[in-house]
Amino acid sequence: MTRTASAFFLSLLAGTCALHAQSQKCGSNAQSTIATDRPQITSSSIVVPCGSLQFENGFAATSNAGQHTFDFPETSIRFGIAQKTELRFAVPNYFNNDDTPSGFTSGFGDLSLGFKQQLGPLHGFDVSLIPSVAFPTGANLISSHGYDPTVQLPWSRGLSKNWTIAGMFSLMWPTEGAQRNLTGQSSVYFARQLKLPWDAYLEYSGSFPQRGGPQHFIDFGTSYKLSPHQQLDFHWTFGLSAATPDYSIGIGYSVRFQVIQSR
C-alpha cells in the first residue's frame, strides 16, 4: 500500500512537471499580492504565480493538560511551475517536548512533497486540488514510519469587497502503528479585510478519524502585509473536544520572490 501510493504520486508529479515543462509565460502575475496557506488550517485556493518561489514559516506553542510543546520552523516552500500549477515541499518540523503515544520526546517530523493544481474560478469560486505524500524521515518516536498520502480540496469565494468565505475538504491516510487510520477533515472560515494590508478571520475545523475520537477546533487570527510580497501572521487555536490539545498559539512570516521571468 505504502509503496503503491508513493509510486503513484511520484508518477503523477513527474507527469505534471513534464506537461508544463514547455515554455510558460512566467512573470505576468509577479506584482500580485502574496496569498499564503497560513495561518489558517485551510490552505489557499489559488497557486503562487508562475516563476515565483514562496517561503512560509512560523513558530507555534501548544498546551495540553499542562504540558507544552513547541514546533518550528513550519516552513512550506511553494514554487509556481505554470499558470495554475505549483510544486510544494514541507520542510521537516522540529518538535520540542512532543506528546507521542510512546511519551514526550523531541526531534524532527516527516517531510512532505506535493503539488497544487488550480481548477477554478468555477461559478465565482476559486478551487484547487492538492495531492501530497509525507515521507518517513523524522525521529523514531515522531515519524509515522509510513508513506502517508493526503488529498485536499480548498475553495474560496468573495462575498463583498471586504468579506470572504473559504473552506477545505481533506482525506488523509496516516500510518498509526501497523495500520492506516483513514481520516476526513473539513474546515470553513470567514475573513474580513480590516484595512488594505490587514485582515482577520474566524475558522472552524473538524477531523474525523476511522479510529479514535473526533477533533474539533476554533481558530482565529490575523495577518498583516508588510509589502505586497511579505506577510506577518498570528493565530490562536482552541480545542473543543477531548481528543484535541487545549490551545495553540503561533506567529509566522512569509515572503515571495520572482525567480523566473518569461523569455
CATH number for the domain including 39?
2.40.160.40
Question: What's the pTM?
Answer: 0.88
> Measuring CA to CA, which residue among 98, 93, 92 is closest to residue 68?
98
In a domain, 165, yes or no: yes
In a domain, 263, yes or no: no
Interatomic CA distance for residues 172 and 169, integer angstroms: 10
Per-residue pLDDT, 262: 66
By mean pLDDT, which of 2-6, 78-82, 91-95, 237-241 is the weakest?
A: 2-6
Domain that includes residue 51, residue range = 2-258
Q: What is the arithmetic mean of pLDDT over 189-195?
A: 96
d(Cα 15, Cα 29) in Å, to the nearest integer?
25
- 137 lies in some domain: yes
Model pLDDT, residue 236? 97
Alpha-carbon dihedral sign for residues 231, 40, 47, 194: negative
Among 6-10, 181-185, 222-226, the range scoring the smallest mean pLDDT is: 6-10
Does the structure show a pLDDT above 50 at 12?
Answer: yes
Task: Specify the range with the lowest mean pLDDT, choosing from 10-14, 117-121, 147-151, 171-175.
Answer: 10-14
pLDDT in tens, 20-42: 444 457 877 888 999 999 999 99
Count of domains for the chain: 1
- Tell me the per-residue pLDDT of 228-256, one tens digit each, with 9 for 90 and over: 999 999 999 999 998 899 999 999 999 99
Decide if pLDDT at 202 tops 60.
Answer: yes
**Contact, 57 vs 37, CB < 8 A?**
no
